[in-house]
Structures are given as C-alpha cells and as structure tokens.
Amino acid sequence: MSGKTALVPLEKVWELRLAETAKSLEDNGFAATVHTDMAAAMDYFKNTLLPEVKPASVGVGGSETVRLSGFYEYINSRKDIVFNNPYAPGLTPEQGIAMRRQGLISDLFVTSTNALLRDGRLLNLDGFGNRVAAMCFGPSKVVIFAGRNKIVDDLDAGVAHIRGFAAPGNNIRLNKTNPCTKTGSCMDCKSSGRVCNYWVLTERCFPAKKIHVLLINEDHGY
C-alpha cells in the first residue's frame, strides 16, 4: 500500500514535467500534445493527425518506440496510403536505401527522438541520416512519438543519455558487433559498422508546427 501511495507524487511530477516540456516545444515553434499512454497517442495520431494531414504517402525513421506503437500494422492496413517502409521484409540493402530516399519526399514522416530537452529542443544521433534529414526538410509533416524517459534536463544530459543508453541499445537491437554492445556504453568507435554518424540538434521548428511531438506519459524506447 505504501509503495502505491509513493507513486502518486512521482506521477504528479511527470505530469508537470510533460506539461512544461510541451510548453517549451510550442515556444520553439513545434506542435506538442501530451497523452496518458501509447494507446491514447495512437488514437490521436489515427483520428486527429491523419485526417488533418491527409497524406498520400508516409515514410518512417528507425525507432523502437514507433515499432512497438502499432503504427506499422495500422499504416499497412491503409490501402489509400503509400507506405515507404525501408524495413519491409525482403528488401535488399539497395532497396532499403531507395525507400529511405522516398521517405524524404513523403507527405508525412513518423519517427521518435533520441533525447528531448526540457527547454524544447530535440537531440538526435543517426546512422544513415535519413531520420534527422526528414526532421529538417522534405516531408510536409513530421510526427514524433516520445516517451517521457526521453526528457532530459539539458544538452549535456542529452548527449550522456544517447551515449549511455540510446546508442548501445540500438546497436544491440540491430545485432551490431560494435564495442558498445559489449560495454553497454558508447566507445566513440571507428568501426566500419558504426551506426552513430550524424548529430543533429533541432533548436526550433520551421515552418512552425511542421513537427508535432506526441509526448507520452509512459517510458518507451531508449
């Protein structure tokens, strides 16, 4: 009983932090909404954002958060939308690259962010660069699913989060043999299979509200 009671103040802290971060994002030109859980975020995506954007084509950036959200299953069920999916089964490496290029000219691009600063900036470290490129230019609309665990205090904390959790986590997920899969932390390696190549700090969203961040009051991804 005492454990359950102790959670109540922490949940209030998360509510306050998510509201603060949403306000910071909006001050920086992003659109931002807060959702109680992933199911609520997906409902908002399907029933509000998609009808507003009316995309003929959708691209996607590599993200464990998005993979587990139900997004792939839903978009695959929409026969009226062309899904430029570089992770579709059976694609050759060359076809995967071509599909990533198509993603950059999609009407809508869906992904997550590696870190979300409380002052309303996005910090990402990418492999191919297509995910961060789409955030900067190309698709008319970008939707970012972000669990509360992505929120960090400042830029230094964002770099530490990515080097300490996101980078090794993604390398393990992708079955890479880079040093971080053995140490559990970024080694700033020179490996030929390195997937940490492009740092991008998104200070502001331009045009305004091109990027919509769905803040989720649950931990998702890493």
> What CATH number is associated with residue 6?
3.40.50
Q: Is residue 137 part of a domain?
A: yes
| Residue owning tokens 């970024």 | 186
Judge whether residue 4 has pLDDT over 60: no
pLDDT tens digits along 97-156:
999 999 999 999 999 999 999 999 999 999 999 999 999 999 999 999 999 999 999 999
Please give the Cα distance from 31 to 23 (Å, whole number). 9
User: For 177-187, b where at least 16 C-beta lie within 10 A, e where not — what string?
Assistant: ebbbbeeeebb
- Please answer whether residues 60 and 45 qualify as being in contact, where contact means their C-beta atoms are separated by less than 8 angstroms: no
The whole domain housing 54 covers: 2-149+202-216
Q: Is residue 97 part of a domain?
A: yes
Q: Is residue 154 part of a domain?
A: no
Q: Is residue 178 part of a domain?
A: no
Q: What is the DSSP letter of 110?
A: E
Q: Is residue 75 part of a domain?
A: yes
| Residue owning tokens 């062309």 | 82
Question: Cβ of 49: how many Cβ atoms within 10 Å?
Answer: 19
Counting the structural domains of the chain, the total is 1
Confidence of residue 1 (pLDDT cuts 50, 70, 90): very low
Judge whether residue 6 has pLDDT over 90: no
Cα torsion angle, 55, 18, 120, 201, sign: negative
pLDDT value of residue 5: 61
pLDDT tens digits along 42-96:
999 999 999 999 999 999 999 999 999 999 999 999 999 999 999 999 999 999 9
